[in-house]
Amino acid sequence: MSLPSEGRRGSTPRWPLPGRTPAGWVDLWRLPQAVVWERDRSHVQVATYLAVRTAAHDALDAGVPNAALLSELRQIEDRLGLSSMALKRLQWEIAEPVKRLQSRGGVIDAADRFSHL
């Protein structure tokens, strides 16, 4: 599956878990992978990932790494396609952006235009 290099467009979904929306929610929904998350209605899984990521980073910042949290974080990242290896395993590819014309009326080389297909 080819994902748009410019990421997901549109408004950010509402935070699906109780409490305040943590930092990073909007940024996650702008990623190319978010196109699939939206299609699959994975809002809760993405929210869980963000909550686990926040907790794991807080533990690291406090100097008390939590192996269980870090393990869970890695597993969720894999399921959401947030690493290079996960992208390959899921057979997701982030498309190369189509080169924009330098000036109006310019010519696009066919090899460049279709190289990402």
Q: Give the model confidence (pLDDT) of 47-82 as tens digits.
A: 999 999 999 999 999 999 999 999 999 999 999 999
The residues, any chain, with a CB within 8 Å of residue 12's CB and separated by 6 or more, are: 25, 26, 29
Tell me if the pTM is above 0.85. no
Contacts of 117 (CB under 8 A, 6+ apart): none
Whose CA is closest to 4, among 35, 27, 41? 35
Quote the pLDDT of residue 96. Answer: 82
pLDDT value at position 36? 98
* 106 — pLDDT class (breaks 50, 70, 90): low
Helices vs strands, H then E, count in the chain:
6, 2
Q: Which tops the pLDDT comparison, 35 or 102?
A: 35
Task: Please enumerate, as own/partner, the contacts of 52-60 that have beta carbons within 8 Å and a separation of 24 or more.
Answer: 52/76, 53/24, 54/22, 54/24
Band (pLDDT 50/70/90 cuts) for residue 113 is low
What's the whole-number average pLDDT of the chain?
89
Q: Find the largest Cα–Cα distance for the chain.
A: 59
